[in-house]
Structure 1
Amino acid sequence: MANVVTSPAGRRATLSLLSVFPPSQSRSFSSTVPRCLDFDHIVIGGGVVGLATARRLTEKRPSASTLLLERHPQPGTETSSRNSEVIHAGLYYGRDSLKTQLCIRGRHLLYDFCSARAVPYKKVGKWIVAQNDAQHEALERIYDLCAADHGLDVPVRWVGRDEVWAKEPFVRADAAVLESPETGIVDAHALMLALRGLFEEEGGTVALSSAVVGVEPLPRSGPQTQKGSAGWAVRVRDAQTGEESTVTAAIFVNAAGLGAVDVHNMIASPEQRRMLYYAKGNYFSYTPAGGPSIRVGRLVYPAPEPGASGLGTHLTLDMAGRIRFGPDVEWVDSPDDLAPRADRLDQALAAIRQYLPSLDARSLAPDYAGIRPKLGRQGAVVEGKGFQDFIVQKEEGYEGWINLLGIESPGLTSSLAIAERVERLLYG
């Protein structure tokens, strides 16, 4: 089968996946039949995490060959491009969780990367607002976690009532405001373009419209304690023609996002298989409709609700300073259910007016929607009952398989740190 791939020099050509690299550049393994592997690494999934991981491998292992497989015609068209584009500080996920560790490390890496590579970003800061005693207590728990000597590096401070009125007169906060000065926003599209460009410049290969339909460990003669120690065969279907071919590698990384559990289940035994749940988030645009125009200079989030599957319908800004709201949480059966729901506008308006009481209903309209991959139907964002952490690990009993599951928020913030962790899991 022929697939469109992009060469390191940026020239587009129609090539067979099996002929991208000549045999002299392939890695040989002993087997029942002499076998040359096509690549050292295959990364499945061209979202921001897959792009960051693939680029990390080419950056740190320049002599190795790396293939990035993406099922859509362009990278980053699923969760990575349908989110709030927020650089999170690491407030919500508990001291010892992988989400907290990777979010904080990723925040530093991301700010540094954006500065070095001219990726647009702004460290605008965030206010978390409480309207009653219970919400105030939730903010106190966040403050205590961040202010304690845990080495978390998550600065926070309380904002006084006079400062609230002076800086954000449209924002209501009857009980308290906690500020996160390290929270920011980033142009996710520009970030992914930069990662892809570096990956290709460093010798990586991108295969688009290439859906993975099967993954199997290659057979090997003699004693074998780990499946995949002879490498992996990845069966790929051309999304346009439906034709299939197989490409092999010593190592593969499952960074397929909304498809990651499907890839996992291609390999795992029945008792190890997982289910993925789809949390749709509807976003709403803000366009002044003749009444007083709301002006806000930072992100505004409601206090987190215990056990909630999201952070509430919050106010975010884009790089031009335009206001938008979202996401809410709507459980859906398909990751393709991406039409924003106009019938959820009243519910969103009621939530937003808790902290922006003067918002004119005529200014709000459905804008877009995204899907968050959840490992549990009621997986909480805030650590506690039902909390679902990131899974970034070598799979036990297998050689050369790194699995990334449940990579939702703060996945964008954590992307460079996840890539760093994957490379260290593979090479120490």
Structure 2
Amino acid sequence: MTDVIIIGGGIVGLATALQLKQQRPGLKIILLEKESSVARHQTGHNSGVIHSGLYYKPGSLKATNCIRGYQMLIDFCDAENIPYDLCGKIVVATKAEEIPQLETLYQRGQQNGLGGLKKLTIAEMREIEPHVNGVAGMFVPQTGIVDYKQVTEKYAVKFQELGGEIRFNERVEQVTPGTSLSIVVTDKGRYETKLVVNCAGLYSDKIAQLTQREAVDVRIVPFRGEYFKLKPHKEYLVKNLIYPVPDPNFPFLGVHFTRMVHGGVEAGPNAVLAFQREGYTKSAINLKELFETLAWPGFQKVAAKYWETGLGEMYRSFSKSAFTKALQALIPDIQEADLEPGGAGVRAQACDRTGGLLDDFAILETDKAINVVNAPSPAATSSLSIGKTVSEKVLARF
């Protein structure tokens, strides 16, 4: 018998495991991961940005966990000699109608406790990013870059050093909550546990449905983000990070430029519906998963509301020239020939039955389970704080 089974070996699952072991060394904790190593999905396809907490509604789980998690992450990287760079970023309004939203972001950043935010004229922006274009901007000094796969691997090492156990290549197939214990059945074995903690990312809704008898009224809708990379001889066009003013109605930040901690510059991502939950290419299709997405009433409402935006994103997915045009709004000197294919990631975006794309982190609790059902960006930055939040919920049971 085990005290806690954690499902999912991404950054949130490992951070939760580590926080639990540090706070209560005597707990018997097993982490189950269906892949052969950690950080194989959202975490391993992450662009590596350390988020400041600028975008998130004051008092929300995203705001409080990002701001607390930011410092916890920096302290962890310092202690474990993990390289990072707090290079800062600029947020750019490319047209006059975006200036009010830029001002809203500035006010929000201040409410969230970010010091050193600076409003910029175009001349001041070009002192930071000489090739940028826009009508107004803001400098955010706290933003940085790091390798989250490396961070997660270190979480795993420290969790195991404290006596925690990770079992790879074990896919959870069934969870049966009992009166005192739950039975977790994988494709390799059977476990009895006092508590299940679900950090399964792209499959978090599926696991949540296994852990509770009442309906789970959210579904994960997978959105693929596709990137290009600047060819090496054009990397001089971007010094650090350049972001647009995001659309406040859509939970994505828009195409942007990111210098990577190991070198190179990424451009993107777009946001298109993935045809399977781990669909990293256009040709990756799982008909069962695609049908489940299309049949979900919440997704149908999202599609009806955002079809024009969705078509634009899809068009950019298939048209390099359209993708280039979106990037040229920030850096006019970028040409189609300057871009080469980069990677892709899939965001696990929770969508409720009414068509709401959940903007905040979401944690559902039952007597026998704690389900992290929505933890998209900035979950990597926030990971140790989310882990602390979840571990406090766990320890309240013991």
Q: TM-score range by the shorter chain?
A: 0.7 to 0.9
1:312 matches 2:254: yes
Deviations 1:225-251, CA, capped at 9 Å, x for gaps: xxxxx121111114xxxxxx2111112
2 CA distance for matches of 1:379 and 1:305?
20
Counterpart for residue 141 of structure 2: 181
Q: Assess if the C-alpha contact under 8 Å between 1:91 and 1:142 holds in 2.
A: yes
The Cα shift of 1:288 comes to 4.3
Tell which structure's C-alpha radius of gyration is larger.
1
2 CA distance for matches of 1:369 and 1:378?
28
The Cα shift of 1:320 comes to 3.2
Q: What does 1:92-241 align with in structure 2 at a 5 Å threshold? A: 92-147=55-110, 150=111, 152-153=113-114, 155-173=116-134, 175-219=135-179, 230-238=180-188
Secondary structure of 2:187's partner?
strand
Q: What does 1:356-395 align with in structure 2 at a 5 Å threshold? A: 356-376=331-351, 386-393=357-364, 395=365
The one of 38, 42, 49 aligned to 2:5: 42
1 CA distance for matches of 2:382 and 2:202?
17
2 CA distance for matches of 1:334 and 1:154?
41
Counterpart for residue 218 of structure 2: 274
The one of 354, 357, 363 aligned to 2:329: 354
2 CA distance for matches of 1:337 and 1:300?
27
Q: Assess if the C-alpha contact under 8 Å between 1:281 and 1:326 holds in 2.
A: yes
1:423 matches 2:367: no
Q: Assess if the C-alpha contact under 8 Å between 1:104 and 1:154 holds in 2.
A: no
The one of 17, 20, 25 aligned to 1:62: 25
Q: Name the CA shift for 1:273/1:158 in 2 (closer, same or farther; >3 Å).
A: closer
Q: Assess if the C-alpha contact under 8 Å between 2:222 and 2:346 holds in 1.
A: yes
The Cα shift of 1:39 comes to 1.1
Structure 2 counterpart of 1:233, one-letter code: I
1:403 matches 2:371: yes
Q: Assess if the C-alpha contact under 8 Å between 2:90 and 2:125 holds in 1.
A: no
Structure 2 counterpart of 1:216, one-letter code: T
Q: Assess if the C-alpha contact under 8 Å between 1:282 and 1:328 holds in 2.
A: yes
The Cα shift of 1:157 comes to 1.3
Q: Name the CA shift for 1:107/1:293 in 2 (closer, same or farther; >3 Å).
A: closer
Counterpart for residue 337 of structure 1: 279
2 CA distance for matches of 1:313 and 1:421?
31
2 CA distance for matches of 1:377 and 1:270?
15
Secondary structure of 2:243's partner?
strand
Q: Name the CA shift for 1:153/1:411 in 2 (closer, same or farther; >3 Å).
A: same
Q: Name the CA shift for 1:141/1:76 in 2 (closer, same or farther; >3 Å).
A: same
Deviations 1:304-333, CA, capped at 9 Å, x for gaps: 112123100110011134111121100123
The one of 250, 261, 269 aligned to 1:327: 269
2 CA distance for matches of 1:346 and 1:45?
38
Aligned length: 363
Deviations 1:49-85, CA, capped at 9 Å, x for gaps: 0011111111111111110100111111000011211
Structure 2 counterpart of 1:295, one-letter code: L
Structure 2 counterpart of 1:185, one-letter code: I
The Cα shift of 1:154 comes to 5.7
Deviations 1:257-311, CA, capped at 9 Å, x for gaps: 011100011133353343210111001111146xx65332221001111212310
Counterpart for residue 302 of structure 1: 244
2 CA distance for matches of 1:172 and 1:203?
53
1:81 matches 2:44: yes
The Cα shift of 1:153 comes to 3.7
Structure 2 counterpart of 1:206, one-letter code: I
Secondary structure of 1:412's partner?
coil
Q: Name the CA shift for 1:155/1:344 in 2 (closer, same or farther; >3 Å).
A: farther
Root mean square deviation of aligned Cα: 2.1
Q: Assess if the C-alpha contact under 8 Å between 1:95 and 1:152 holds in 2.
A: no
Secondary structure of 1:402's partner?
strand
Secondary structure of 2:363's partner?
strand
2 CA distance for matches of 1:270 and 1:42?
21
2 CA distance for matches of 1:76 and 1:378?
29
Q: Name the CA shift for 1:376/1:207 in 2 (closer, same or farther; >3 Å).
A: same
2 CA distance for matches of 1:324 and 1:293?
9
The one of 187, 191, 202 aligned to 1:258: 202
Counterpart for residue 30 of structure 1: none
Q: Name the CA shift for 1:295/1:377 in 2 (closer, same or farther; >3 Å).
A: farther
Q: Assess if the C-alpha contact under 8 Å between 1:44 and 1:255 holds in 2.
A: yes
The Cα shift of 1:151 comes to 5.5
The Cα shift of 1:179 comes to 1.0
Q: Name the CA shift for 1:362/1:288 in 2 (closer, same or farther; >3 Å).
A: farther
After TM superposition, the score normalised by the length of structure 1 is 0.80
2 CA distance for matches of 1:192 and 1:340?
28
2 CA distance for matches of 1:285 and 1:101?
32
2 CA distance for matches of 1:318 and 1:154?
24
Q: What does 1:286-297 align with in structure 2 at a 5 Å threshold? A: 286-288=230-232, 294-297=236-239
Counterpart for residue 17 of structure 1: none
Identity of aligned residues (%): 30
Secondary structure of 1:209's partner?
coil
Q: Name the CA shift for 1:349/1:407 in 2 (closer, same or farther; >3 Å).
A: same
2 CA distance for matches of 1:167 and 1:274?
42
2 CA distance for matches of 1:64 and 1:280?
37
After TM superposition, the score normalised by the length of structure 2 is 0.86
